[in-house]
Amino acid sequence: MTTTITLAVEDLDRLGVARDLICTNDTESVLAAAMPTLTAAERAALAWHAPFSHTALLIFPRTLDGLRDELSWHGIETGPMVPSVVVRSRLSRRYGVPLDELEVGILRTPVTDGAGRECVLEIFAMATPPELEHIAADERLHGRENHFALAVPNADPIVLNGLRAAITARMRPDGGGYNGHEGSTVLYFRDVHQSCAAYRRLELLCTGEFSDVLAAHERQSEPGTELLGLLTGAWATQAIAAAVELRLPDHLAATSDLGELALATGADEESLGRLLRYLGTLGVVRCADGFVLTELGTLLRTGIEGSMSALALMYGGPFYRSFGALTEAVRTGEESFAKVFGAHHFPYFAEDPALASLFHRSMAASNAMFAELVRTVDFAEARLVVDVAGGNGELLSRVLAANPSLSGVLMDRPEAIAVAEEKLADHATRCLLIPGDFTVDVPRGGDVYLLSRVLHDWDDAMCRTILTTCALGMPPHAELLIIERLLPETDAPSLSVPWDIHMLCNVGGRERTESHYRALLADAGFVLETVRPLALDGYVLRARKSV
C-alpha cells in the first residue's frame, strides 16, 4: 500500500517528543514541573482530584484524508478522528480565518506514562493548504495549542471551581470551551514565564457541560477585561467614599428601601440606585429585594468597633488627590502629597482641625491589628510601656485595658496628644502624655517600647536615627516592639505592596521586608528576636538591644 506523505518531518519529530514526555513522566512530576510553587500536600491533592491524562500537540498535514494511515505507517496507531471544536475556534479567532475555512480533527493514541498508567497522546491536526501555511509556521514556533492535561473524573461545579482557583493562582486562564461531539468541557491555563515549553499550557478536562464555570473562566482569560477592571479601581475608591459621605451605610442599617434611602441621604433616587448597584459588584451591599449591607459594608458604618468610614473619606479625599501626581513621585522619588498641597501631610493636617480629626479617626482602621497584638504579646513581666509616636492613643489604650497592672507613657506631637487625651481618659491615673520629638529623645525607664507604624513613614537614614534614639533611651533589659506591614521576600500577595506605593506618594516613606528591618535594627544596636503575624497583614517585630 502506498501512503501519501502529508506530514512534515518536523511534525513527526514533535510527535516523538510529545510521546516521550508522557513515557518519562507521571502526575506528580508533571505538576512539579508546571507549577513548582505547589507544596507537596497541594500537589498530592491536585493529583488525587485530577490525574495526568494526556499530552496534546497541534500538527499540520496538507490534508486530513489518509492521516490515520500515514501515522500508522510511522508506528502511531490512533482511533477514529473526531472534530475539534475548541482548538478550531481558538485558531479562527487568533488568525482571523473564518471557521468554515478551517478543518481541525482530533486523533488519539494510547501511551503508558512513567508510573505505568495508561495515558493518551492527543493529536490535533489542522488541514494546511499553502494559503494557511503561515498558521503552521507561527504555531510550530510558539506552540500555543500544545499542552498537557489533567482529567477530572468526578467533576461538579464545586470541585471544578476549586481546582480552577488553585491552578489560576499559579497559571493564567487561557480560554476553553465545550466540545459537543465528545460531551466535554475544557479549561486551558498557561504560564508565559515557564522556562520549559512543554509545561507552558495545562488543560482541565471534564466530562459534562459546565457553562457557568466556563463563562467565568473565559472572562478571566481576557487580559483586556482584567485590565479594565484594574483601571476602574479609582472609581471603586470614589464610590465607597461617596457612600460614606452620604452616610449610606448608616442608613442601610435602618432601611433597605431605595426611596427611603434617597430621602434619608438627600440624593437623587435613580442615581443612588445606580451607585448601590455598583457597590453591589464591589461586595459592599447585597442587591436582592432591596439593598442590604454585607459584612464588608458594615465596616463603613460610623461609630462601630473597627469602622473604616474615616479611612474611606481619607483615601477618597486628600490621598486620592495626591495619588493623581503619582507619576511625579515615581519620577523624582519625592512624595507627591507635598507638591499637591504645599506641605507634608503631618503639618498640613495639623493646621486643619477637621482634617487632623479625620486622619486620627482613620487610624482606627488598624484596631484589628492592635487587638491581635494584645492577644499575641505577653506583657506580664512589664511594669511600664512607652508608646513612641503613639498618635491617637488607640494602641496604648488597648494594652493598658488588657493589662491592669501596667502603666503607660505616650509621646507624640502636641496635636496628637490632644486627641490621645480623650482616648486614654479611662486610664488617666496610670498614663502619662508627653509632647516631644522622638528623633531627639524618648522617655526613660520603660520595660517595653512600642513603635507602631512609625518607621514606614521615613527613609532609612531617619529610621536609623529613630532606632538609635530608642536604643540610647531604653534600659538594657527593655524590649522594642515594632508594628508594621512587611513586604514579602517573594512575589506573594500582600497589602504591604500597594501600601508601599502609598508611602512613596503620600508620606515619603516605604514599606520594608523583614531582612531590611533586621539590618536597620542591627545598625542601631538591636537584635531582631521574633516576627509574628497580626491582622490586616501586619506583623510585630520583637527586638532587644545587643549585648
For 297, half-sphere exposure in the C-beta direction (CA atoms, 13 angstrom radius) is: 25
From the CA atom positions of the chain, what is the Rg in Å? 31
Q: Which helix (H) or strand (E) holds 510?
A: none
Strand, coil or helix: what is 512?
strand
Backbone angles phi, psi at 311, to 5 degrees: -65, -40
- Taken in order 503, 509, 510, 511, the sign of the CA dihedral is negative
377-380: Cβ within 8 A, 24+ apart? 377/481, 377/540, 377/542, 379/403, 379/406, 379/448
Structure-block grid coordinates of residue 213: 464555570
Distance from C-alpha of 482 to C-alpha of 449, rounded to nearest angstrom? 8
Number of C-beta neighbours around residue 401 at 10 A = 12
Distance from C-alpha of 393 to C-alpha of 390, rounded to nearest angstrom? 6
Closest CA to 1 of 73, 86, 64: 73
Q: Give Cα 59 to chain centroid, integer Å.
A: 38
Distance from C-alpha of 188 to C-alpha of 211, rounded to nearest angstrom? 15
Structure-block grid coordinates of residue 477: 533589659
Cite the active site residues: 456
* Contact between 307 and 301 (Cβ < 8 Å): yes
Distance from C-alpha of 67 to C-alpha of 47, rounded to nearest angstrom? 34
